[in-house]
Amino acid sequence: MTNHIVDLKNTDCALIMGSNAAENHPISMRWLLKARDTRGAKIIHVDPRYTRTSARADLYTPLRSGTDIAFLGGMIKYIIDNELYHRDYVVNYTNASYLIKDEFDFHDGLFSGWDKENKKYDVSSWDYQADANGLPLTDPSLQNPRCVFQLMKKHYERYDIDTVCKITGTPKNKYLEVLKTFCATGAPDKTGTILYAMGITQHTVGAQNIRAFAIVQLLLGNMGRPGGGINALRGENNVQGATDMALLFHIIPGYVDSPMNTADNKDLISFIRKVTPGAAKLPFTNLAEFRELVKAGFPNSGWKIHTSKWVVSMLKAWYGKAATPGNDFAYHYLPKRDEKKNYSHIAMFEAMHRGEIEGLFVNGSNPVVGGPNSNKEQEALTKLKWMVSIDLWANETAEFWTHQAWDRPVKNPDVPRMTPAEIGTEVFFLPAAAVYEKEGTAAQTGRWVQYRWKGAEPVGDSKSDLWIYNELVKKIKQKYGASKRKEDEPIVNMTWDYDDEHGHDDIMKVALELCGYNVADGKPVEGFAKLADDGSTACGCWVYCGAMTFKDGKNIYKPQLRKKDDPSGLGIHPEWGWAWPMNRRIVYNRCSVQPDGVTPWPGDAKRQLVKWDPLALADPKNPTSLGSWVGVDVPDFIKTTGPDKAAFTSPFIMRPEGKGCLFAAKNSLKDGPFPEHYEPWESPTVNIMNKQNLNPAVKVWEPDKQGTRDKYPIIGTTYRVVEHWQTGALTRNLPWLAELMPDMMVELSEELAKEKGIKNGHNVVISTSRGDVKAVACVTKRFKPFNINGQYIHQIGLLWQFGFKGYATGDPANRLTPHIGDANAMCPEYKAWLCDIRRA
Ligand SMILES: Nc1nc2c(c(=O)[nH]1)N[C@H]1C(S)=C(S)[C@@H](COP(=O)(O)OP(=O)(O)OC[C@H]3O[C@@H](n4cnc5c(=O)[nH]c(N)nc54)[C@H](O)[C@@H]3O)O[C@H]1N2
Ligand SMILES: Nc1nc2c(c(=O)[nH]1)N[C@H]1C(S)=C(S)[C@@H](COP(=O)(O)OP(=O)(O)OC[C@H]3O[C@@H](n4cnc5c(=O)[nH]c(N)nc54)[C@H](O)[C@@H]3O)O[C@H]1N2
Ligand SMILES: [Mo]
């Protein structure tokens, strides 16, 4: 979330799109309902089916799964045509006025630079025009036909209301009402928030769906202000923390690109050059020279100018004394990913299925139920030599071999049936302690990092994940102990020092390393502005720097703070837990004040978060350091950037140009600088917006498994219910929760039920080109057939939370879903595919 959960109470209008917040994030609904009660806020819900969230909304409208960009593209056009954008905000805080290279173009669904052979874009034309000094050219009048604003206007010309409704199947009057209601937040004294979750991300255009939100929110001036923002309602309790710690293949901790096996990543200096925007052509051969250039004002990288400090401090944290200025701080120890390979979930299971992977650690995950095309993923596990499952329960994945023959899809004769005796995978099960049985932090969806103390002792032999990994790595290091082989150095020289004086794992030692310490005295680094790239600081994850502080002779870990005070009344609660970065509760908060840095937006003084104070001390110890940003939230701005600096009106400090990007310049996305509507991989219709059906930049893994509308005419989607948690291991194993939602269920409209002779409670079979599943039919008014460009099209919805273990069992819906993912993030297209349904 750019904002946070409590901040939802400050909104004038909430657009909930691709999220069933009432069931999956009930706490967010609490604050939204408060906004409605106290400020008369409006709640809008856009979802293919009517849900418990719709029931609480002021305005509900359906759309066909996979068509959100069409819906939002029409919104962008409506905002521009009716001049509803927040002009001052757009001109000053976004890249609307930036001129784009003449070579940039868009035709027939393809942006310029399409490389037909390699099926990817050369993104060099997706860039700004620059002056002799490399600075972007702009036209603040927004009239130049090459400025972002005009190009955007042209791009969305095609998204008129009639065309949009033909694609989405949304009733026109409802669509207009949504446009009118949400776009009213473009007024300077209004803010609107967007909440989304998996209905938006689980698509081949998932990342571009969110980009479309970004454009809408920037145009309406809703970013960086209370009650505004783009708010991903994140899933697992610590999924935000997992991302911060880089449980993703393409980043290292703190959202820095992970190094590759390419020439421009070959040593630390090449890598820093590559990951620091603008540094490509700068003449430096070592970090000292780089520091001199930075002092002289080069390059123009925004806050990412400090990347070398984050990377070197991380290497110091990982390799300690072995990381020295003389050996590139042991950069060569870091594993380098193969440029040509993809290491995301789908790609890994494809590789496993091809027999390219020997062993697998499954740590708190259940892909046999939760993975896309789960028949294939289950089969991939049979090709492993060994698998370690670390879990509370022996879930479907831990015991995948017990149900091989039983659960083969009847219609898939080419998949060999295997008995457990024929499966060679050796499985080790390590029982894990539950969240209540251990201590540590979780970063919740609003970036608040909160410490949790242990509530009970672990059951039986189960151990915390930290204990398991601490013991495992200690054993591995023991084995490698005396090795002198070069390739063993990364293990031999890795710092691993998390034991307390009794030899038990000490989570505060992990916390200190993540937050960062001064190498000389081991004291916490007080904030990431103090990190260095000379080896004097060590820090495991720069965005967590500042969470640990030294006061009154001891370390204070701020995620443990529990003070409820809220001086501003805006729900900031600055001493409750700690939010990254630097306890900032709303990011981009420079935008909550007018460009002059002082005046609130007209009529909105109460929601001003920060301001420029020419008399405030930038450094409390230096009485001559006049001029600083101050406010009720921690300013998201370089403290001393005053009106005399060019960057004074550049609130988006993580971007080199400092502006919110209506146009995503090169190297941001793989599939285009403006979101464009493409159909899902399996679609019941042709794309009427352009000549490409599927997002061209998407990798197709299994062309022979694409279901077509002649055989599979119905759209299928999957979702959760409040009664179950995820793959169900945590809920179907508990009798009282299993009883609440005992059966695998499919929801279908009364109209489709009639066509198919299905009645409420009937057993039915749903099939796709990948497999079949059985379910109990729930015939409901919550789904309605869509009118898509004159065609009458049905959509059904399945729970994906069932499997063959536990008290409540049923077929995993993922036996139906395809192995295809988003062009950028590889998030699987769980939410839109083709199927058929019949009585069992
Ligand atoms: N009780 C409970 N709470 C949970 C979870 C749980 O399992 N149980 N899981 C947690 C996790 S990990 C996550 S990620 C979140 C997920 O939270 P949500 O995203 O809310 O979860 P879903 O139910 O998968 O999907 C949300 C909605 O997307 C709609 N949808 C389907 N296709 C589309 C589309 O193309 N466009 C739009 N606009 N909407 C579409 C579905 O109809 C559904 O109502 O929930 C978290 N909270
Ligand atoms: N069709 C379809 N498929 C989906 C989705 C969808 O919307 N539709 N949603 C996707 C999403 S958003 C997600 S997040 C994934 C979730 O997929 P998974 O992460 O595979 O699902 P969970 O059920 O959360 O699995 C977690 C496992 O962790 C165990 N566990 C719980 N606490 C701990 C712990 O402290 N330590 C350890 N070691 N184990 C623990 C649980 O017992 C459980 O077996 O599913 C995805 N799959
Ligand atoms: Mo999730």
What is the per-residue pLDDT across 334-376, written as a single tens digit (0 to 9) for each? 999 999 999 999 999 999 999 999 999 999 999 999 999 999 9
Compute the residue count for the chain. Answer: 840
Q: How far is the CA of 263 from the centre of ligand 3 (A)?
A: 36
Q: Which atom of ligand 1 is nearest to the CA of 722?
A: 1
Pairwise CA distance, residues 560 & 515, whole Å: 14
Task: Please list the alpha-helical segments (H only) found in 401-501.
Answer: 465-480, 489-492
Instruction: Please write the tens of the pLDDT for every residue from 31-54.
Output: 999 999 999 999 999 999 999 999
The residue whose two tokens read 């972002």 is 148
Residue 298's pLDDT band (boundaries 50, 70, 90)? confident
Q: Predicted confidence band at 413 (pLDDT cuts at 50, 70, 90)?
A: low
CB 730 less than 6 A from any atom of ligand 1: no
Kindly indicate the confidence band of residue 406, based on its pLDDT and cuts at 50, 70 and 90: very low
How confident is the model at residue 416, as a pLDDT?
A: 57
E strands present in 47-156: 59-61, 106-107, 110-111, 114-115, 120-121
**Nearest residue (CA) to ligand 2, atom 30:** 364
Compute CA distances 633 → 570, 637, 827, whole Å.
10, 11, 33
pLDDT tens digit sequence for 225-270: 999 999 999 999 899 999 999 999 999 999 999 999 999 999 999 9
576's tokens: 């409750």
Closest ligand to the CA of 813: 2
Ligand 2, atom 3: closest residue by C-alpha: 370
Question: Is 24 close to ligand 1, i.e. is its CB under 6 Å away?
Answer: yes
Q: How confident is residue 222, by pLDDT bands cut at 50, 70 and 90?
A: very high
Ligand 1 in reach of 467 Cβ (< 6 A): no
Closest Cα to atom 34 of ligand 2: 434
Which ligand 1 atom lies nearest to the CA of residue 236?
Answer: 12
Give the whole-number percent of the chain exceeding pLDDT 70: 98
Residue of 20, 344, 366 to test ligand 2 pocket, by largest number of atoms within 8 Å of CB: 366
Rounded Cα distance between 543 and 574, Å, is 17
Output the pLDDT for position 677. 98
Looking at the CA of residue 49, tell me the nearest atom of ligand 1.
42
Sign, CA dihedral 647-650-652-657, equals negative
CA distance 788 to 581: 45
Report residues whose beta carbon is within 6 angstroms of any ligand 2 atom: 198, 202, 235-236, 363-367, 370, 390-393, 395, 432, 434-435, 465, 718, 726-727, 729-730, 800, 813-814, 817, 830
Query: Which of 1, 16, 19 most suits a substitution to test ligand 1, by most atoms within 8 Å of the C-beta?
Result: 19
Given the CA of residue 800, which atom of ligand 1 is nearest to it? 24
Ligand 1 atom closest to 801 (CA)? 7
Contact 349, 817 (CB under 8 A): no
Closest ligand 2 atom number to CA of residue 397 = 44
Q: For residues 271-285, give the mean pLDDT.
A: 94
392 Cβ inside 6 Å of ligand 1: no
Question: Strand locations in 23-70, DSSP E?
Answer: 42-46, 59-61
Mean pLDDT of 803-814: 94
Distance from Cα 396 to the centre of ligand 2, integer Å: 11
Q: What is the DSSP string of 245-264?
A: TT-STTEETTTEEPPBSSGG
What pLDDT does residue 409 have?
Answer: 45
**b/e code 688-726 from CB counts within 10 Å (16+ = b):** ebeebebbbbbbebbeebbbebeebebbbbbbbbebbbb
Choosing from 49, 239, 391 the residue with most ligand 2 atoms within 8 A of its CB, the one to mutate for a pocket test is 391
* CA dist., res. 120 & res. 112, Å (int): 11
Domain 699-839, architecture per CATH: Beta Barrel (2.40)
> Is the model's pLDDT at 450 over the cut of 60?
yes
Q: Compute the Cα dihedral for 320, 326, 328, 332 and give only its sign.
A: negative
Query: What is the pLDDT averaged over residues 810-837?
Result: 97
**Mean pLDDT taken over the chain:** 96
CA distance 55 to 39: 20
Give CA–CA dist 5/27, Å, rounded. 8
Query: Helix H segments across 82-222?
Result: 87-93, 148-155, 161-168, 172-183, 198-201, 206-219
- If you measure from the C-alpha of residue 720 to the centroid of ligand 1, how many angstroms do you get, rounded to a whole number? 6
Please state the atom number of ligand 1 nearest to the C-alpha of residue 726: 7
Separation of alpha carbons 264 and 273, rounded Å? 8
Helix (H), strand (E), coil (C) string for 122-135: CHHHCCECECCCCC
Q: How confident is the model at residue 405 (pLDDT cuts 50, 70, 90)?
A: very low
For 687-731, write each residue's pLDDT tens digit: 999 999 999 999 999 999 999 999 999 999 999 999 999 999 999
pLDDT of residue 272 exceeding 50: yes
Q: What is the mean pLDDT of residues 450-467?
A: 97
- Tell me, in angstroms, the distance from the centre of ligand 2 to residue 802's CA: 12
- Nearest ligand to the CA of 237 is 1
The band of 412, judged by pLDDT with boundaries at 50, 70 and 90, is: low
DSSP string, 800-823: ----SSSSS----GGGSS-S-B-T
The CA 550 to ligand 3 mean position distance, Å, reads 36
What are the pLDDT digits (tens) for 97-121?
999 999 999 999 999 999 999 999 9
pLDDT at 415 over 70: no
Residue, of 568 and 406, whose pLDDT is higher = 568
For ligand 1, atom 37, the nearest C-alpha belongs to 18
366 Cα to the center of ligand 2, angstroms: 6
Instruction: For residue 21, report the distance from its CA to the centre of ligand 3, in Å.
Output: 13
* Residue of 378, 396, 727 with the most ligand 2 atoms within 8 Å of its CB, for mutation: 727
Please report which residue ranges of 501-658 form alpha helices under DSSP H: 507-515
> Probe ligand 1: pick from 28, 366, 795, 831, max atoms within 8 Å of CB?
831
Nearest-angstrom CA–CA distance, 645 and 590? 15
Pairing relationship of beta strands 386-391 and 426-431 according to DSSP bridges: parallel
Please give the backbone phi and psi of residue 486, each rounded to the nearest 5 degrees, phi first. Answer: -55, -45
- Pocket of ligand 1 contains residue 47 by CB under 6 Å: yes
Q: Which ligand has the minimum distance to the alpha carbon of residue 65?
A: 1
| CATH 2.40.40.20 boundaries in the chain | 699-839
pLDDT of residue 411: 47
Query: Are 329 and 320 within 8 A, CB to CB?
Result: no
* 646/644 Cα distance (integer angstroms): 7
pLDDT band at 414 (very low <50, low <70, confident <90, very high): low
pLDDT digits (tens, 9 = 90+) for 85-97: 999 999 999 999 9
* Cα 811 to Cα 396, 720, 727, distances in angstroms: 11, 15, 11
C-beta of 828 in contact with ligand 1 (< 6 A): no
CB 228 within 8 A of CB 3: yes
CA-closest candidate to residue 657, choices 642, 669, 668: 668
What Cα–Cα distance (Å) separates residue 115 from each residue in 39, 110, 118, 123, 679? Answer: 51, 10, 6, 10, 21
Of the pLDDT bands very low, low, confident and very high (cuts 50, 70, 90), residue 666 is: confident
Question: Ligand 1 center to residue 161 CA distance, Å?
Answer: 27
Q: Is the pLDDT of residue 732 over 50?
A: yes
**Residue nearest atom 22 of ligand 1, based on CA coordinates:** 719
